[in-house]
Amino acid sequence: MARNSLAQLSSQPDTVWPAILDVIKQNINIRSFTTWFAPINLINLSDQHLELEVPNRFFSEWIENHYNDLIQNAVTQILGDSKKISFKVKNKESAPDSPYGAQDWVKSEEVKSSPSPVQSEYVFSTRINERYHFDNFIVGDNNNFASAAARAVGDAPGKTNYNPLIIYGRTGLGKTHLIQAIGNHARMNKPDTKVYYASSETFTSHFISAIQKNKVAEFSAFYRSCDILLIDDIQFFSNKGKTQEEFFHTFNDLHQNGKQIVLTSDRPINELNALEERLISRFKWGLVVDIQPPDFETRLAILRRKCDESELDIPEDILEYLAVNLVDNVRELEGALTKIMAQVTFTAAEPTIDLARSIVTEIAKPDQHILNIDTIVQYCSKVFEVSADQIRAKTRKKNIVEARKVAMYLSKELTKHSLVTIGLHFGGRDHSTVIHAIESVNERMRTEPTFRAKIESMKKHMEYNR
């Protein structure tokens, strides 16, 4: 029965293509579908062969590279067997064999005759968020180099050696904030500075849509007209050959004209594997700086600053609790504050440590709810950003020793184990080593208020798991 209707279908080219499209539609998102499949027509169907008409050659290349399997599967599903698929470009008198599909459109009459290279579609807007400034960016050991470089560039765009400036770091550590601050700062000094911010994904989709609309020349002219071009998250350029090509030319053009380029990436540029070598080598012309996760003091300063900004009055021990337990990124810290703020507004109640705990648990999703020496070691390894193995090993590195001492201290405070047992859990150390660690933690808690706050918050967190 199914076979039969398939056979019937295949004898009616008019219904075949819509049926194939239906299958395709179910397998990709609607945006990709409208972009890449809606404009295609089926113009020939034979036993072995299916010919599709596409608007331009860039289309066929893109589809062959990205959707070949998808089309083949859909064809097989509807027609019962696979076919050779070929493409024909619409209204093509002669197809010039340029290596890049895009060049065909630059040559098109429409673009040649357009009165101004920068058309209405690209009305200049900076796309920067006004909220991101240097003033509200907390500087700590983790980001001071990046922030100094960003300030220098914001002060004198295109005039420093930092061109391009590339900031890399894991997600939620302030890259977007910093590059947009550069734009805001430059425009504060000189309001007519043309700053444009786009993620690499926006750049890509602008480029694709320019190709589809025969407006590549305008696209190029627009991006080349910036004084400062800020491109966020360049890791998403990976594997997008044509877009990289276009970006390469934009980059060269801006650089030659002394315009500033600032880029961010979620990893070091040497690890941007799927980026063309020539792009990577351009990136090395300038300065590459990293942002690391903030330390406890910086996290606390960020929280205080955010509270001030939102006129939020949250007790210090709660801020400390958050700063100790949300170590991975600043976005999480902000998220926790927002949640507390919502609670306080809705219930008009004082925020409590219990509330903070439940929020942290929700955000950080701790995987252990048991309190024993092992989970204490794991917890300390997370808070101090060292591995659990390092804590148990013999290493004398300062931050590892610190984590180890705190873990021993918490083990004594929070479990009923003897000093000897605790020592055994830390790579078979002697009980006198454990005593020494506990004394040293006690001593620091007496003399260093931030350290004390940190340990107390850690204790509160672990007690919750008891």
The nearer residue to ligand ADP, 163 or 176, going by C-beta atoms, is 176
The nearer residue to ligand ADP, 172 or 427, going by C-beta atoms, is 172
The answer to whether residues 85 and 75 touch, using CB atoms and an 8 Å cutoff, is: yes
What is the nearest approach in angstroms of ligand ADP to the Cβ of residue 291?
7
What is the nearest approach in angstroms of Mg ion to the Cβ of residue 189?
24
The nearer residue to ligand ADP, 117 or 172, going by C-beta atoms, is 172
> What residue number has its CB nearest to ligand ADP?
174
What is the nearest approach in angstroms of ligand ADP to the Cβ of residue 139?
7
Residue 177 touches which of ligand ADP, Mg ion, none (Cβ within 5-8 Å per kind): ligand ADP
Name residue 256's amino acid. Q
Angle at 280 between CA 274 and CA 283, to 5 degrees: 140
DSSP readout, 388-428?
Answer: HHHHHS----HHHHHHHHHHHHHHHHHS---HHHHHHHTTS
CA gyration radius for the chain?
Answer: 29
Angle at 155 between CA 150 and CA 160, to 5 degrees: 75
Contacting residue, 11, 12, 171, 347, with ligand ADP by CB under 6 A: 171
H or E stretch at 141: none
The nearer residue to ligand ADP, 132 or 162, going by C-beta atoms, is 132
Q: Which residues bind Mg ion (CB under 5 A)?
A: 175-176
What is the nearest approach in angstroms of ligand ADP to the Cβ of residue 298?
7
Residues with Cβ < 8 Å from 463, sequence gap 6 or more?
Answer: 371, 414
Cα(369)–Cα(438) distance, rounded to whole angstroms?
A: 24
Q: Where are the alpha helices (DSSP H) in 167-228?
A: 175-189, 200-212, 216-224
Contacting residue, 331, 382, 431, 452, with ligand ADP by CB under 6 A: 331
Considering only the stretches 168-176, 362-370, 402-410, 430-438, report the one whose residues sit in contact with ligand ADP under the rule CB under 6 A.
168-176
Residue 183 touches which of Mg ion, ligand ADP, none (Cβ within 5-8 Å per kind): none
Residue 33: DSSP 8-state:
I
Contacting residue, 216, 302, 355, 462, with ligand ADP by CB under 6 A: 302
CB under 8 A, 24+ apart: contacts of 133-140:
133/181, 133/184, 133/185, 134/181, 134/185, 136/305, 136/309, 137/174, 137/177, 137/178, 137/181, 138/294, 138/298, 138/301, 138/302, 138/305, 140/294, 140/295, 140/297, 140/298, 140/301
In the window 311-330, what residues touch ligand ADP (CB under 6 A)? 330
Name residue 230's amino acid. L
What is the nearest approach in angstroms of ligand ADP to the Cβ of residue 450?
18
Contacting residue, 138, 195, 355, 438, with ligand ADP by CB under 6 A: 138
Q: The tokens 């579908």 sit on which residue?
A: 33
Residue 172 binding ligand ADP, by CB under 6 A: yes
Residue 423 touches which of ligand ADP, Mg ion, none (Cβ within 5-8 Å per kind): none
The nearer residue to ligand ADP, 42 or 152, going by C-beta atoms, is 152
The answer to whether residues 320 and 457 touch, using CB atoms and an 8 Å cutoff, is: yes
Residue 177 binding ligand ADP, by CB under 6 A: yes
Residue 184 binding ligand ADP, by CB under 6 A: no
Residue 105 touches which of Mg ion, ligand ADP, none (Cβ within 5-8 Å per kind): none
Interface with ligand ADP by CB under 6 A: which residues? 136-138, 143, 169, 171-177, 302, 330-331, 334
